[in-house]
Chain A
Amino acid sequence: MRTEVPARSVAAPLGVTAGLFAVLVGLAVWQLQQQTGGFAWSSWWPDLGGASVSAADLALALGWWPRLITALIAGAGLALAGVLMQQVLRNPLASPTTLGVAGGANLALMAATLFAPALMGWGAEWVALAGGGLAMGLVFLLSWRRGLAPLVVVLAGLVVNLYLGALAMALLLFNQETLQGLLIWGAGSLAQDGWHDAAFLLPRLAIALVIAWLLLRPLRLLELDDASGRALGVNLAFLRLAALGLAVFLTAVTVSVVGLIGFIGLAAPNIARLLGAHRLASRVVWSMLIGALLLAVTDLSLQHLAAWLPTMIPTGAMTAALGAPLLLWLIPRLRLSSRTPPETMTSGWPRAERPARRLLVMALLMPLVVAVSLLSGHLADGWSWVSGAWTVWEWRLPRLLAAAGAGLLLAVAGTLLQRLSGNPMASPEVLGISGGVSIFLLLGIVWMPAASTSMLAALGVGGALAALALLIVLNRRSGFLPERLLLTGVAIMALAEAVRALVLAGSDPRGQQIVAWLSGSTYYVGLEQALLIVALAGVALVVALLLSRWLEIFPLGAAVSRAVGVRVTGGRLAVLVLAAVMTAAATLVIGPLSFIGLLAPHMARLLGLSRARDHLLGAALIGMGLMVLADWIGRQILFPHEIPAGLVASLIGGTYFLWALRRF
């Protein structure tokens, strides 16, 4: 055994790396031959010092070659960042994308472009660094109480990504034209116009590598538990901070130059590990090689394709799209469940003496919310507190109903999922149903330029069903283990984000329509659809209430459930399908974003509604009220411009999240 293990751990990564390298060289030679029409090195590496330089030489020397080299450096850098994060957090799913660093950098750059353009000239990489660092800090704050358990970190990362994405959407909705360039950046294009990027990246990667090498020995101790590490005299906090800081620095430097490149930081280290590189040092080496080659090969292949298409396909979004299936494949190979204690759902929450009275108070508050949203608001000639004319109600009533229905659906779906998984961070967004809907709708909007609303709705239902089918197929074998389900959702969401980046980067004039739908508005709902949604919401609530016995028992774990005679797999599937249908209906109305499904169940718990029936009813009331209010606020503050309800709800929800951090 002893002699075999190291032998394998070198042979397998070596083989894969050599294979990738061969593909890279093959593609490169092919492209060089096509561009220069021959096999002469002198024409492959043109000398720009001469008097007459042809345009083709120029494109080769200042475009093609720097692009190849930059891709290699960027890939290596992101892979190194991924290894460091995974090592420090003992989490195979940690990466610049999953920890929110990329999303934070994106938002920071957008905000700087709009509000402080001088900063962008001074140093975009520092803006990206600040944004990325803050976002990762937020993820840690969210998952701190649960000991940075891998699944919790990934979920917190997803939530932070969604929140920052909502903010970015708000900026985008009103400044589409100005931010067009950043959309390309956000999709990660590696196009080059000289050697300055490679020259910028290389020394920084070298420095980071030296520091990483110095940290290597102490970092290995992190594989032990904390107590043994401390016993060996290592300052663990400092070590973690230094390694994570280094990883964030690498990510920020790389993305500020080449844009958001998804999943290389996640994929490369995991491939290396699965190929048998177990020791940290060998993981660093192989990950960097594999990351560099993966990115360069993807990029060269896309350059081949680009010649045939009127729009470019940015490399970063493409790696993200390829990374999603990889993540799906990876999930069953991870051992996760043993590390997540399901304690938060059963302890530490307040418990109301008389929950019925609290529910009654909430129910009595509803008419107030409804009245404000129906009666008050901006009219064309000014603010009016009470306007009773049908000509005004005609527009407000469908939106009020749609918001209430969608809010209820999301809140109940969120409650179902949180009770099913025993995880307070589970929500419909996390399940990936809304991701499936948005993938289908985005592609529909792009490929069918004059699609009607009902066609889009049909597409949306198709997307929800596809996502649900994927969830069921991939999770049947594990008996719908909650952790697996949520991770499948994370992967679908990642794919949805990649599709979004691709579509938006295409600089399509329809961008605003896409952004408007993505940010979730009740705008497109007519009265009949609104009534339909409300009816659906009512039925779903009743069905959910009928399931409340199961929901009482599921949080206690599979063993307890079986002991009291509940069929766990069947029960989980039923709850899952119900939640998925509810999410799909709500997503069609209100778009894929909104934290209502996360927020409402959570607030209901905080109000002491701990029994499943009370929890469901409380969350439903809160969800309705919040969504109606969000819709109303969004229509008032920038009148006549409307901020979509989903965005307002996300912003309120995200803020509440930060306030409620101590709960997690």
Chain B
Amino acid sequence: MRSSPTGRRRWRWPLAVWLLPLLMAALSVRAADTAPRIATLDWTVAETLIAIDARLVGLAQLDGYASWVARPAVPGAVRDLGLRAQPNLEQLAAIAPDRIALSPLFANLEGRLSTVAPVEVFELYGPGVDTWPALRRVTRELGEYAHRQGQAEALIRRTEDRLEEIADRLPDKPPAVIVVQFMDERHVRVFGKNGLYHAVLERLGIDNGWTGATNRWGFALVGLEALAGLDGRIVVVKPYPVGVERALSKSAFWQRLTHGANRDPLELEPVWSFGGLPSAGRFAEQLLGAFNAD
């Protein structure tokens, strides 16, 4: 810093003057903020924490979050902890969070991580879990955990109100939908019971065309042929894997499946399929957008 070039020095004063009020405001907030500093490995916990403005200080695989969850964006001060399955302990210890939040997915790390800070596990998805109440519960729990009860309640209210609004603005009798994400040109994850999309569809009053079995995260991995004969409009959650769009344009089966009036698939921008309330809200918005554009 000391040897910064003179060119940059010229900017110092204007920049400082401009930044000063901002800095003061931030400091006054931060100084008063006694909320716990939280680190987490789980992207779903992270998106909820960010949405309720919790003091998130560390998150695993920032680049993965950016490409698979995307929004809400991670605040600049959050440090990368490395891989989700093997967060960097030295980094974590240096950040010294007050609390570490996990999901059952990484529960086996509890022993390791609890030497750094107390660990709490937040369970959202599981067999037989009623997803929407679970989303509400976990959001409230995280609100309490992060000392952001008010924001958590607001997030729940905001999301539920918005979903109601969207339900009103949907076409009168919305067709059933089959929500899929492509794995390769012949296999999709199809989302059903126990999953985020299913819970959102229920609240919007849209039928889910996939009534078959799903795993504990609310999807089934199936070949495309499993989609034939199902009643409903196909909704594809992007991204398409490499080369899949081109392969689909040549696939006799896919062409036939999506051929005809009101059968071409709706495409949604990427949403985190195993997310929390923020992802639920985004999915609903995108669905509305896709129906409107149709």
Contact = CB atoms under 8 A, between A and B. Distances in A.
B243 A640 contact: no
Interface stretch (A54-62, A275-283, A486-494, A551-559): A54-62
B85 A62 contact: no
B246 A121 contact: yes
Contacts of B250: 194, 196
A41 to B, nearest CB: 21
A188 to B, nearest CB: 12
A62 B83 contact: no
A58 B83 contact: no
The listed residue with most A CB atoms (<10 A of its CB), out of B184, B212, B217, is B184
A234 interface: no
Contacts of A508: 215, 217
Interface in B227-277: 228-230, 241-244, 246, 250-254, 256-257, 274
A379 B90 contact: yes
Given A512-B83, A642-B82, A184 B224 contact: no
Contact of B90 (A311, A392, A506): A392
B273 to A, nearest CB: 9
Given A59-B229, A193-B251, A640 B91 contact: yes
Interface stretch (A147-155, A521-529, A540-548): A521-529
Contact of B185 (A193, A310, A312, A377): A193
Main secondary structure of the interface of B (DSSP, over half): mixed
B97 to A, nearest CB: 12
A195 to B, nearest CB: 7
A214 interface: no
A63 B85 contact: no
Nearest to B244: A181
Contacts of B91: 380, 639-640
Interface string A48-82: 10000111101100111000000000000000000
A450 B90 contact: no
Contacts of A195: 252
Nearest to B110: A452
Given A56-B229, A59-B225, A184-B184, A121 B243 contact: yes
Nearest to A449: B104
Interface string B65-104: 0011000000000011111111111110111000000001
Nearest to B184: A181
Nearest to B90: A395
A428 to B, nearest CB: 23
Interface string B171-197: 000000000001111110100000000
A523 B104 CA distance: 19
Contacts of A379: 90, 94
A256 interface: no
Interface string A442-475: 0000000111110010000000000000000000
A31 to B, nearest CB: 12
A195 B244 CA distance: 17
Nearest to B256: A58
A194 B252 contact: yes
Contact of B82 (A180, A524, A640): A640
B5 interface: no
Given A180-B241, A642-B83, A453 B252 contact: no
A335 interface: no
A309 B246 CA distance: 30
Given A64-B225, A311-B215, A452-B111, 8 more contacts: A55-B257, A58-B257, A63-B253, A181-B184, A184-B221, A193-B224, A311-B221, A642-B88
13 contacts: A53-B256, A56-B228, A62-B253, A191-B186, A191-B187, A311-B221, A379-B94, A506-B221, A507-B183, A513-B105, A523-B89, A639-B88, A642-B88
What 5 pairs between A and B have smallest CB-CB spacing?
A: A380-B94, A191-B223, A181-B184, A194-B252, A63-B225
